Amino acid sequence: MNKENGKSLLIAILIVSVIAAIGFTAYKIVKNIKGEKAIFSRVESAQAELTNYIVYGTHLNIEGKINELTQGTTDIDLILESTDGYKKEINLQYEEVEDGYKFYTSDLINTGINLEEFMKNKYYMFIKLEYGKKKQKYYSLENKTEYDQIEYYTITKNGQNNKIEIKFDKHERNDELINYMEISVKQSKLPKDVYDIVIDPGHGGSDTGAQYNGFDEADLTLKFAKQVKEKLENLGLKVKITRDGTESKENFGTRTVYDENGRVNIVGKSKAKYVISIHLNSIEKPNSESGVEVYAPSKINLNLAKAFADNIVKYAKTSYSTLEPSYKKYDGVYVRTYQESEIEQNRREAEEGGYKPYNVTTDTPYLYMLRETGGIATGAYVDGRNKSYGTNNFYNSNIGVEAYLLELGYINNSEDMKNILENEDGYVDRNCTNC
């Protein structure tokens, strides 16, 4: 088995890792048959404020505030309840503030409320505060954000999808109107412009990427990406690719990533759940570094990043990267964010360019394909103020695509290239049966 098998090797690894990411979270489900009137009869007249809500990948996260203190508070939960008898209770993290409580689902943007596990139904969302000896208060959620609604389509499974609408409405109770948040789930095919996964072959057009011994990174990543796309589609998934090799050197390259049809906006328009950006590494001195590096955004659960790194090392018979910077999190897994010196450099560039500096912090992902594809969840900031670039039309979106950048090895390391191009292990079909 030669080059084609090397590509198939990577394909299987990606498939296993991505499909493994579509997991399910256990919630407490309680039988509780009630009509809408009965559900709203118990809520307080005062409402909790929803101050932020985002979808990143397959998960919804919310933040909010209860504007009153209750003596003896012991717990705060999010309740999702339907009129046909089911109630989900999701424990929230919270802290007491001067005039009430702040609450949120998770510190990590790719955990929280897993939208993939919702059945077809309509769910009303409430905040339950427990205090004293099993006493409870229920608050509806009033939207205080700038976002009106989220439309989400579940990942294709057995040729089927659900359309999920996260929206807001009012319930009339006696002489008062109660604002509330709901999740409505209906079966629906994916629209033409909605995808499950995006595969991003690094570089392309006028940008060859790394070069060594007659190999161009852009050519190799495109070959891998096309194979990955085909295999995932054979599993029934709908896949978008950010370039297919027909792009011209004049209209595609490092300066077009934020164009209307640049790779960042392609990902944003796709409404996909995951984007995998495929690259090969390089270093000034050949054979001085080697191995696999998987880059992930900050503030996420890194289990999927670890799965990518571990599977590539195991099945490609390669190794974890020998790179040991401070931002290494696990073997082969890295979270590269802005350093103070880079933030200062951005400030100076803004001053010289005559525009207001971006709001960049030491939590902001450094790699643009990880940062700009996640919207507000990952601190995307390319809004057009720097005229040297285009505009990320989705920089301020509260819907983000979960992104990973894979450096499969070093193009100028002989052992890495051997593993990438000439791996002879014939395990592809065997591992695809585990997907």
| pLDDT grade for 404, boundaries at 50, 70 and 90 | very high
What is the pLDDT averaged over residues 358-378? Answer: 98
Do residue 161 and residue 209 come from a single domain?
no
Q: What is the pLDDT of residues 198-213, one digit of tens each?
A: 999 999 999 999 999 9
Determine the Cα–Cα distance for residues 372 and 386; give it in Å rounded to an integer. Answer: 15
Q: Provide φ and ψ at 277, rounded to 5°.
A: -100, 120
- Output the pLDDT for position 281: 95
Determine the Cα–Cα distance for residues 369 and 381; give it in Å rounded to an integer. Answer: 12
- Out of 26-40, 81-95, 324-338, pick the least confident: 26-40
- Out of 67-81, 350-364, 384-398, 420-434, pick the least confident: 420-434
Strand partners, 405: 277, 295
Short-list 59, 63, 158, CA closest to 117 = 59
- Output the pLDDT for position 419: 84
Determine the Cα–Cα distance for residues 237 and 15; give it in Å rounded to an integer. Answer: 10
- CATH number assigned to the domain comprising residue 287: 3.40.630.40
Do residue 226 and residue 182 come from a single domain?
no
Do residue 244 and residue 334 come from a single domain?
yes
Three-class HEC string of 24-88: CCCCEEEECCCCHHHHHHCECCCCEEEEEEEEECCEEEEEEEECCCCCCEEEEEEEEECCCCEEE
Do residue 222 and residue 111 come from a single domain?
no
Burial class (CB in 10 A: 0-12, 13-18, 19+), 71: exposed
- Output the pLDDT for position 256: 92
| pLDDT grade for 33, boundaries at 50, 70 and 90 | very low
- Output the pLDDT for position 376: 98
Q: Does pLDDT of 343 surpass 70?
A: yes
Do residue 169 and residue 214 come from a single domain?
no
Determine the Cα–Cα distance for residues 173 and 100; give it in Å rounded to an integer. Answer: 25
Do residue 132 and residue 216 come from a single domain?
no
Do residue 242 and residue 378 come from a single domain?
yes
Q: Does pLDDT of 426 surpass 80?
A: no
Q: Does pLDDT of 3 surpass 60?
A: no
User: Look-up: residue for tokens 């409402």?
Assistant: 47
User: Look-up: residue for tokens 């997907």?
Assistant: 435
- CATH number assigned to the domain comprising residue 143: 2.60.40
Determine the Cα–Cα distance for residues 162 and 423; give it in Å rounded to an integer. Answer: 39
Residues 153-185, buried b or exposed e (16+ Cβ, 10 A)?
bbbbeeeebbbbebebeebeeeeeebbbbbbeb
Domain span including residue 94: 28-154+157-187
Domain boundary among 167, 187, 207: 187
Do residue 271 and residue 257 come from a single domain?
yes
Do residue 380 and residue 314 come from a single domain?
yes
387: tokens are 């005229």
Q: What is the pLDDT of residues 121-148, one digit of tens each?
A: 999 999 999 999 999 999 999 999 999 9
| Rg, C-alpha atoms of the chain | 24
- Output the pLDDT for position 88: 92
Do residue 264 and residue 391 come from a single domain?
yes
CB 401 within 8 A of CB 374: yes
Do residue 240 and residue 343 come from a single domain?
yes
Mean pLDDT of the chain: 90
Residue 432 or residue 170, greater confidence: 170
Strand partners, 28: 89
CB 274 within 8 A of CB 228: no
Q: Does pLDDT of 21 surpass 50?
A: yes
Determine the Cα–Cα distance for residues 35 and 356; give it in Å rounded to an integer. Answer: 52
Q: What is the pLDDT of residues 310-333, one digit of tens each?
A: 998 888 888 999 999 999 999 999
Short-list 276, 265, 310, CA closest to 292 = 310
Number of domains composing the chain: 2
Q: Does pLDDT of 214 surpass 70?
A: yes
Q: Provide φ and ψ at 316, rounded to 5°.
A: -90, 0
**pTM score:** 0.92
Do residue 14 and residue 138 come from a single domain?
no
